[in-house]
Structure 1
Amino acid sequence: MMRENNVVCRELNCGNPVSVSRGPLIEDGRRGVTLYSCSGDESSIRQCGIRGGPGFCDGGYYHHVTCSESVRLVDGAGLCSGRVEVKSNQSWASVCEADFDRQDAEVVCRDVGCGAPAALQGGLYGEGEGQTWDKEFQCKGKESLLLDCDTSDRENNTCLPGNAVGLTCSEPDDVRLVGGGSRCAGGVEWYDQGEWRTVGTSDWDQRDVAAVVCRQLGCGSTVSVPPGNTTRGFRVSCSGSESSLRECFRSYDFLPGLTVICSESVQLVDGAGLCSGRVEVKSNQSWASVCEADFDRQDAEVVCRELGCGAPAALQGGLYGGGEGQTWDKEFQCKGKESLLLDCDTSDRENNTCLPGNAVGLTCSEPDDVRLVGGGSRCAGGVEWYDQGEWRIVGSEDENQRDVAAVVCRQLGCGSTVSVLPGNTTRGIRVYCEGSESSLRECWRSYDLLPGLTVICSDLLVQPDIFLTDPMGGVFRGHQGPEMFRGYNFTITCSTQPQYPGGSFLLTFTGSNRTQTQPAVNHSAAFLFPAADDSHQGNYSCVYDNYVFSHNFSSESELLSLTITASPLPAFIIRHVVVLLILLTSITTSYLYYKPTRRQKRVNRVSSMDLYVNAMEMVSLSSRAEAGPGEERAAQGTE
């Protein structure tokens, strides 16, 4: 809603929005409208989208905006930073740095509802395109409004380029976190009308409000948003990009109070979720990127643990941009077991420069706090969330189940959602997601009585295994693959873990369009190849198919690469070597068992002859097995 507020104040020529609120509708018969689709740069609300009609706001609220009226900060990052401009004859004029000092800045920051001045510099937020203010301010620093300050004629009537004064005010101390043991953790409270009031928000808006709170307090990234107690206070709605809660919409309502836990000293920015981004640490109340050379795997383990994420998955310079601010000037020396990055030792950097593109980016795995149970697979079953020392059932409203399921499958690395089934009604954790979150921790949650959620993800089946067995009983796996001699038989076996009964295996061969299919018996299937030739060379894979949960699922193995080679020796040499070995064995056997009697001698001679005949028959059979059909017929003709 802040962009709409900017348009309203601009159209009225009243400076910046100072605060926004919502009050009860005055039943005076006037027609109400809703503004939407403002970019913030429009000169009139008529350029925004408008919805309305008779009775459109019945039972609703009016939107209240307070504008700064006589001074504004433009082209900054929020309400409390920008180039100083003051109203002059119903137009806005930049202020020259020489005409503006620290006491003047204190009044401007107070006038626009911000904290004390933090930075004051010419050209800090550009030059502007209009006129330059022709007076010098002489504030004492205690005035409430800039118009209350005295002015005098400028000594020099020129203002050199680059001297339009830019001002950064600190955020006001009107938001705090209480009861969490740290200024960066606890229930959110907002100081209003002389007292601290509890802040609550709608279910779907909690993560956005929490992000603004952590940003306003300079407390890094949001770690978690546990549910609070229901009480009357501020109801706040944010887009998540605001620099403070003052830029968000607020009203008085009866809602659960918001509890926020921020990371405090480290944050991951410009990533895809809470567990990825460019590493930044707090340095003198500002955030600094960390150079890749000063950050290793053990440092990453501590950061991931502090943010409530899993183990580090990727660590690389420039992975999430280079950042625009300063660079951390120390080298971390974590041991990997610390709970907080601030607990780690540091040392001076050996090299005081950090080349562009070397700001370290970190991707942590999602924490193992979500699981699917009872479905026979880690990618199917009832959703459970580990909370407060126990696994709790997760439920969701009917219209939000697909979004929650998408987040669960994404977090578990299980592909996309195939189906969502309602479970039994029970008390557990009620979750609301938009569907784009990287984990359930980024969704809203509360404790409620709802049907548990059962989710089936696409990567239901585990990856099958593939291996080759040669005639000697050797087993080979992997893409590097085995080598088989031409003419030898081999077997390719597909197998999978015993998840579900039934199913079938499809053996695919990338060298051609040939495929073979066999049913899965005891979760495996064997494909026999009687004689290897060059047409068998190539890559093989097993595809396991099964029909479960009323859907067809499949999973493919890694590739097995097979190479066909010639025998190391010609076949006739192998046959003669075999014959000689058999004859030598026969003679040795006859000699050892030789007896002096003639009968025994005759028996031994007969035995030797039998052994020789048997050996020749074995060689003949071996030759026919190794020879092709043409060679076998030729051999028969010779006989």
Structure 2
Amino acid sequence: MDRVLMVFVLIWSSGLQAEETNTSKVINDIRLEGGSSRCSGLLQVKHQDTWSEVDDSDWDLKLADEICRQLDCGSVVQAYSKYTDSSAWRKKPFCFESESKPRKCLTKRSRVYPSSLEIICSDSVRLVNGTSLCSGRLQVKSNQSWSSVCEGDFDRQDAEVVCRELGCGTPSIFQGGLYGEGEAPVWDKNFHCKGNESALLDCGSSGSARETCSPGEAVGLTCSEPVNVRLVGGSSRCAGELEVKQQGEWTKVDAEQTAWTLKTADVVCRQMDCGSVILAQEKQDNLYKTMSRIDTACLQSESVIRECVVIKMTTSVYTLEIVCSDSVRLVNGSSLCSGTLQVKYQQSWSSVCEADFDQLDAEVVCRELGCGTPTVLRGGLYGEEQAPLWRREFQCKGNESALLDCGGSDSAPDTCSPGEAVGITCSERDNMRLSGGTSRCDGTLEMKVRGEWRPVVNYEIEWDQKVAAVCRQLDCGSAVSTKTRYTRKPVWLLRHPCGQSDSLLRECLVIQDFIRSATLVVMCSGNPEQ
């Protein structure tokens, strides 16, 4: 690799060193060493003609993929922690997130038992321009050149081999033009896979008559995600403690070292096809155990869970319990308590026609989702959905615990016109207040979580946007003034950037216990008698 990587290196103390020193370094090269090819092995960097291994802290699969791409080694297949007997360069992984030269990336440190990063890349196949590591336009490498593949030279058995080679599940979609047109040359062979090969280039092939692909014929592929996420110990597959499959073993997910909120837990529910989140909380075990960590900032970017699992495992006593709604959800809304209603039956989601749904039905849905009472109920409120229509009219009494517990009758066919798929806005539960002031519209901001009122703190960004949301959600007009008040009591922590959107503030609360000092006192302009 002839690219020169300019970086700044900080000598960092791990607690085993007595001093810190800042220095500037030049790293001349990167490589994967000790694997079966140049595209697999321990990640190493070269400095002053010496190769050193890279520390594995804070890396996930998505970031490891950037190494594979920079080395022209296709896509990442696997990434592991590997214990070594040498000191390691600590590479801050965000440096590899763009095509530009990394900067301010490396930290060299000494410790007793460092662990390094081992990466296995696909080498000869890759998917580009997709929405995840398991989707994109297919390209194949031969003689150091990447080529697109024509749809007519590729079938389902070929797709099964590619998905397996990339560490993904089975192919769900493959078609020409699925992920745009390819600018690469066209692969000049027709693949003849049997479906059980370990690599696409192990398959038989014959010469193709094509010199170019017609517009829309460069094959794109979507593989399913491997089954490596689950909830265990709950009443259904959609409730329990979160576990991920890492290095071939199921491990619980740590809730202590990563800031989990309702909003990030909801990503887990949606990706597991379990509806919307109802509850997320930490559970304390009796003993420290080896656990996995998930980068919740990565989850918020809509990446799939597998790509956000931190490669290096940790030890903790706090696990994460999530309860999802399973059979109902609200989509395309501005919060977890608003959106177009969808109901799941036989693993398929359906929208509900406005005429088949009334206020009593809406009360059941809002309560099932952990929200307050319904405030708005209207067809087309949150746009049209492409989901099929639910073919039964709900007949809830209003006191049922779940929508599918309600009675119902067959709906008249083809009676739902465009714009009539029902949307719901549920109110927020009475779990936020201003306490200790002269009226209900001024005082210390407190929120109620799991039955307990605590002051709220936020140390990540300025309060301005959140204060406006507080006054608005309390129906107290706009913010007039704010100040801080110090406390040594337990508090709830708000997380950035959740509160910068229209999300309800409860969705932004970190589920862990915190003890902070500076809480917020708010005065709103609203009439306290309202």
TM over 0.5: yes
Note the residue ranges of structure 2 that are not aligned, 5 or more in a row.
Answer: 1-59
Counterpart position of 1:130: 184
Q: Give deviations 1:264-298, integer Å, cap 9, x for gaps.
A: 22322333221123333446645454454554433
**Closer/same/farther in 2, CA of residues 208 and 91 from structure 1, 3 Å limit:** farther
Any residues of structure 2 matched to 1:109-508 within 5 Å, and which? Answer: 109-154=163-208, 161-201=215-255, 202-207=257-262, 209-229=264-284, 231-238=289-296, 239=298, 240-250=300-310, 251-255=312-316, 256-282=318-344, 285=347, 287-323=349-385, 325-335=386-396, 336-344=398-406, 345=408, 347-351=410-414, 354-355=417-418, 357-382=419-444, 384-388=446-450, 390-394=451-455, 396=457, 402=463, 408-414=470-476, 415-416=478-479, 418-422=481-485, 425-426=488-489, 428=490, 430-434=492-496, 435-436=499-500, 437-448=503-514, 453=519, 455-459=521-525, 461-462=527-528
Q: What is the CA–CA distance in structure 1 between the aligned matches of 2:120 and 2:131, rounded to whole Å? A: 19
Highest CA radius of gyration, 1 or 2? Answer: 1
Instruction: Tell me which of the two structures has the higher relative contact order, counting C-alpha pairs closer than 8 angstroms and 6 or more residues apart.
Output: 2
Q: What is the CA–CA distance in structure 2 between the aligned matches of 1:73 and 1:272, rounded to whole Å? A: 33
Q: What is the CA–CA distance in structure 2 between the aligned matches of 1:309 and 1:285, rounded to whole Å? A: 24
Counterpart position of 1:50: 103
Note the residue ranges of structure 1 that are not aligned, 5 or more in a row.
Answer: 465-639
**Closer/same/farther in 2, CA of residues 34 and 291 from structure 1, 3 Å limit:** same
Q: What is the CA–CA distance in structure 2 between the aligned matches of 1:462 and 1:138, rounded to whole Å? A: 75
Deviation at 1:22, TM superposition (A): 6.5
Q: Which of 70, 89, 96 lines up with 1:11 in the alignment?
A: 70
Q: Give deviations 1:536-594, integer Å, cap 9, x for gaps.
A: xxxxxxxxxxxxxxxxxxxxxxxxxxxxxxxxxxxxxxxxxxxxxxxxxxxxxxxxxxx
Deviation at 1:366, TM superposition (A): 0.7
Counterpart position of 1:103: 157
Tell me how many residue pairs correspond in the alignment.
453
Do the aligned partners of 1:299 and 1:332 also contact (CA within 8 Å) in 2?
no
Counterpart position of 1:559: none
Q: What is the CA–CA distance in structure 2 between the aligned matches of 1:281 and 1:129, rounded to whole Å? A: 42
Q: What is the CA–CA distance in structure 1 between the aligned matches of 2:90 and 2:242, rounded to whole Å? A: 35
Q: Give deviations 1:483-511, integer Å, cap 9, x for gaps.
A: xxxxxxxxxxxxxxxxxxxxxxxxxxxxx
Deviation at 1:237, TM superposition (A): 0.5
Deviation at 1:167, TM superposition (A): 2.7
Q: Describe the SS at the equivalent of 1:215.
A: helix
Partner amino acid, structure 2, of 1:326: A
Q: Describe the SS at the equivalent of 2:513.
A: strand
Q: Describe the SS at the equivalent of 2:364.
A: helix
Partner amino acid, structure 1, of 2:124: S
Deviation at 1:226, TM superposition (A): 1.0
**Closer/same/farther in 2, CA of residues 34 and 119 from structure 1, 3 Å limit:** closer
Deviation at 1:196, TM superposition (A): 0.9
Q: Which of 78, 84, 91 lines up with 2:132 in the alignment?
A: 78
Q: What is the CA–CA distance in structure 1 between the aligned matches of 2:294 and 2:402, rounded to whole Å? A: 31
- Could you say which structure has the higher helix fraction? 1
Deviation at 1:134, TM superposition (A): 2.6
Do the aligned partners of 2:134 and 2:168 also contact (CA within 8 Å) in 1?
yes
Q: Describe the SS at the equivalent of 2:361.
A: helix
**Closer/same/farther in 2, CA of residues 347 and 144 from structure 1, 3 Å limit:** farther
